[in-house]
Amino acid sequence: MYDPPSRDLIARLEQYTTCRERDVLSCRSIVHALSRDLPAFDSIWLDALVQRRKLTSFQAEALANHQEERLRVGSYFVIDLIQNDHVQKRYLAQSVETKKFYYLDTFTVEAQDAQQVVDSLVFQERNQIGKNRLTDFPVDFVASGQMLFAVNEYHAGITAQELLVRQGRLPEELLRTITRQLHEKLKQYLSLNFVHGDIRAGNLLLNKKGTFSILNAGVRPQVQPVWTLQTRLPFECYDLFAPEMIRTGRWSHETDLYAAGCLLWQLACGRPPHYSADALYKISAHIEKRIPPVLEYAPDVDRETAGIIDQLTQSDPVLRAHSTSTTRTKTRMDRPSAPQLVSSYVRKLEQPRSIIPRSRSEVFRDSSAIITAVVCLMIFCWQAIGWIPSQRWISGTGSAVVASLTGDRSTAGDDKPGSDDKLNESRGLLELPKPNEQGLLQLTAGQRYRASDVSVVGALKVEVLGDPQQIANKPAEIIITEDPWKLWATDLELNNVTLRYDDGQATTDSSGKATPPALLVCQSLNLRATGCKFFGPRSKQDKPDKPMGINPRSIAWKPLSRSESNAGHVHLSGCQFLHDGSSLMLGGEAKEVVITNSLKLGSGDFIEIVCRNAGDALPQVICNQTTIRSASSLLHLDCTGHQFNSSIQLDIEATNCVIDLKETSKTLIVLTSPTSPERGIRAVNLLGQMLLVSEDTTLVSWWNPNRGISTPISTEGIVEGLMPYALEFVGMISEKPQDSELKNYTGPRWNSVIPGIQSTQMTAANEPIFRR
């Protein structure tokens, strides 16, 4: 036994972090292992939360020392300290409302009020920058006493300061690319009459898209409008001081040019122009000494790049200013591969931030060079011979239709090149647009598109253009016939996309066309779907169900790689699965499946996991505010052809969920195996709170595919929060989600909302209302 966490700890966690009580309770097994037979103090619960990556060590230390006020700045949670030069600190923060991550930089305001500085910065953004939005300008400011916090957008990448430590002096081609991009950014500042004031290696952030931003643009000239010897600055700032800045104490566009030139000189040579540990020596050297030409220390630098650096480091500000006023000429720096070059170095040298909690990771995914090479090879094979190697990762009854789920396109209809165009024209279907260079595929609300394969190297995001009300009333539809919609990408994100099976064209008659095994087939490192709807075939009430394997799955997902540390995460929010067949099928090893405020109607399993190797670790399944009606099971683990062993453990966490299964198969978890898995499974844990199920529901059963018999079995594990209840819904099964809400619910509650879906929140544009 162990002591529960104190209510004071839970209250502080909920106020100052993203952890909730269910996150704390999910660490009980770790606490039990840490405490043994000793009392489980709050510090042990904090250690367990750190091990589960629900907290960082920075947060745990602040909570243990009762300094939790450090973890909340305005409407932002402070996650971790990532940079500290004893004058200015940089934190990783997370928005309380949107759950997005940001950089939080601190500035000390000495001679004026911090709120006045915030007002000046907001006024500058509104009047000086205006519609010409600078990506370098902070997105928000927070004043607290004499401290000013600048909030910058977070991008997974590496700063130039870290780049110098890990790489040393930069290769010539990388330096040339950064020089050109920085030179163009300085021209943009000049056109807006904007002064950055804090160009240095610690603020130059290179991201995986091959571009960079210079953080905290325009903040320092407002916080410290006049520099003196008593002004406290980060030590690296003294490497970049222009001579006129030292004489006048004023920031200007010319001082930005000098700072950029010194920064590029340092990137080219691997050290600052005036190297010393004495800040006063650096200041006097900028006035008295000339910065030597970059070619003296780095003779391999491109001549044009060296010319730009030497001009930017001129002592005379007039000569320096000519570098951004001359007309640009086309050079080899403008080659299209420049962003890919920067991106390759960032991916090679960046260290993934484990400080970001695993369950909150939204925009921060990484892929290795090996995975990129595999994707390129797949694209080459696909384009060269129109064929993708088929993988036997779909279970079923042995139907030949299942082969198309992995890319086997040898159907009779493919031999008629003009048939699809004529069919699309007669049915008013549009061709699916191509993704842009950033991997963004945009659809138009109210339009219907023919499903066609999409394969990209990198991330792919599919979204719908239009306001939320327009998207809800007139969704953009992807029409599925006899072939599924196939997507390949490193990271895949779908927002407000509707997939509809056209049963008027896909039949099982003599024409040879058949129902597709799945509406969406995707292969990626991670998958995120928000506000998506899936319409497929539905069996009529007066007819028996179709045989298993004919009804299409909604989503069939397979991971690109099993070795990637940041791969294997599937997040579904606000999705509706309105047809018979499994909602989500996993054809490979996943780490986490999170489903929030989603609805499943009709027969078939909600989650189907196909075991390619019975020894593989199973994903943690987390369901919140989810409703399942007339389904076959909550989770189906299919190990047909494999023997269960004692290493299998299934963990399901369901909170505020409603599960109403078919009368013929009232089993939450179905295990399919040729032999009984009762002895071989280590544990089946069903955690969470307020999981409402229909009466007489069985927890686990074994389906023997050879004999066609289902048998209830007993397994080890923890079961809590499961409550049989006489379920009554607002209406019959329909495509309206409000008909699947509970009617006149009078039972206990876990929080202020009743169990099951919240239909009013399922039409939100991109942001789920319920978050872990």
User: Lowest-pLDDT range, 157-161, 396-400, 490-494, 574-578?
Assistant: 396-400
pLDDT bucket at 365, cuts 50 / 70 / 90: very low
Residues of the chain with CATH 2.160.20: 369-539+550-761
What is the per-residue pLDDT for 243? 92
Residue 372 CB contacts under 8 Å (≥ 6 apart), including other chains: 457, 458, 490
Ramachandran angles phi, psi of 190, nearest 5°: -65, -40
User: Lowest-pLDDT range, 145-149, 439-443, 545-549, 564-568?
Assistant: 545-549
**What strand order describes the sheet that includes 518-524?**
454-455, 485-488, 518-524, 553-559, 584-586, 605-610, 633-638, 667-672, 698-704, 709-712
Partners of 92 in beta bridges: 80, 103
What is the per-residue pLDDT for 674? 81
Average pLDDT, integer, range 10-19: 92
Query: How deeply is 249 buried, as exposed, middle or buried, from its count of CB atoms within 10 A (0-12, 13-18, 19+)?
Result: middle
List the Cα angle 473/479/484 in 5-degree steps: 135
Q: How distant, in Å, are the alpha carbons of 126, 129, 222 from that of 123?
A: 5, 9, 11
Q: pLDDT tens digits, residue range 252-274? A: 999 999 999 999 999 999 999 99
- Helix residue ranges per DSSP H, 192-316: 220-223, 243-248, 253-269, 279-288, 303-312
Q: pLDDT tens digits, residue range 690-711? A: 899 988 888 999 888 888 888 8
pLDDT at 772 over 60: no
What is the per-residue pLDDT for 2? 56
What is the per-residue pLDDT for 647? 66
Ramachandran angles phi, psi of 650, nearest 5°: -110, 120
Longest dimension (CA), the chain: 94
pLDDT bucket at 360, cuts 50 / 70 / 90: very low
Both structure tokens of 203 = 């603020």
pLDDT at 354 over 70: no
Q: What CA–CA distance (Å, rounded) separates 487 from 520? A: 8
CATH of domain 76-364: 1.10.510.10
Q: How distant, in Å, are the alpha carbons of 389, 489, 494, 589, 590 from that of 561?
A: 16, 12, 20, 9, 10
pLDDT at 749 over 60: yes
Query: How deeply is 11 buried, as exposed, middle or buried, from its count of CB atoms within 10 A (0-12, 13-18, 19+)?
Result: exposed
pLDDT bucket at 498, cuts 50 / 70 / 90: very high
Name the average pLDDT for the chain: 81
Secondary structure percentages of the chain, helix, strand, coil, to 5 = 30, 25, 45
Q: What CA–CA distance (Å, rounded) separates 465 from 447? A: 11
What is the per-residue pLDDT for 768? 40
What is the per-residue pLDDT for 753? 87
- Candidates 491, 487, 455, 528; CA nearest to 366 is 491
Q: How many CB atoms lie within 10 A of CB 87?
A: 13
What is the per-residue pLDDT for 533? 94
pLDDT at 688 over 80: yes
What is the per-residue pLDDT for 208? 82
pLDDT at 510 over 60: no
DSSP characters for 554-608?
EEEEEES-SS-TT--EEEEES-EEESSS-SEEE-S--SEEEEES-EEESSSEEEE
| CA trace torsion 603, 604, 607, 612 (10° rounding) | 180
What is the per-residue pLDDT for 359? 38
DSSP characters for 13-80?
HHHHSS--HHHHHTTHHHHHHHHTTS---HHHHHHHHHHTTSS-HHHHHHHHTT-GGGGEETTEEEEE
Residues of the chain with CATH 1.10.510.10: 76-364
Residue 303 CB contacts under 8 Å (≥ 6 apart), including other chains: none
| Residues belonging to the chain | 772
Of the chain, the percentage scoring pLDDT greater than 70 comes to 80
Q: Look at the alpha carbons of 32, 34, 37, 39 in this order and tell me if their dihedral is positive or negative.
A: negative
Q: What CA–CA distance (Å, rounded) separates 625 from 382? A: 40
Q: pLDDT tens digits, residue range 221-230? A: 999 889 888 8
User: Lowest-pLDDT range, 32-36, 323-327, 366-370?
Assistant: 366-370
What is the per-residue pLDDT for 704? 85
Both structure tokens of 445 = 């609300």
The backbone region for 531, taken as left when phi is positive above 0, alpha when psi lies in -120 to 50, beta otherwise, is left
User: Lowest-pLDDT range, 57-66, 394-403, 419-428?
Assistant: 394-403
Residue 301 identity (one-letter amino acid): V
What is the per-residue pLDDT for 419? 46
Q: pLDDT tens digits, residue range 80-117? A: 998 888 889 999 999 998 889 999 999 988 778 888 88
- Candidates 595, 597, 607; CA nearest to 634 is 607
pLDDT at 497 over 50: yes
3 state DSSP class of 180: helix
Q: pLDDT tens digits, residue range 183-221? A: 989 998 888 888 999 999 999 999 888 888 999 998 999
Q: How distant, in Å, are the alpha carbons of 348, 398, 547, 580 from that of 709?
A: 53, 19, 15, 22
pLDDT at 237 over 80: yes
Both structure tokens of 224 = 């410290």
- Candidates 30, 28, 4, 9; CA nearest to 20 is 9
Residue 45 identity (one-letter amino acid): W
Instruction: Return the CA Rg of the chain.
Output: 29
Q: What CA–CA distance (Å, rounded) separates 492 from 498? A: 16
What is the per-residue pLDDT for 320? 86
Is residue 196 within 8 A of residue 217, CB to CB? The reply is: yes
Average pLDDT, integer, range 233-249: 90
Average pLDDT, integer, range 564-573: 87
pLDDT bucket at 334, cuts 50 / 70 / 90: very low
CATH of domain 369-539+550-761: 2.160.20
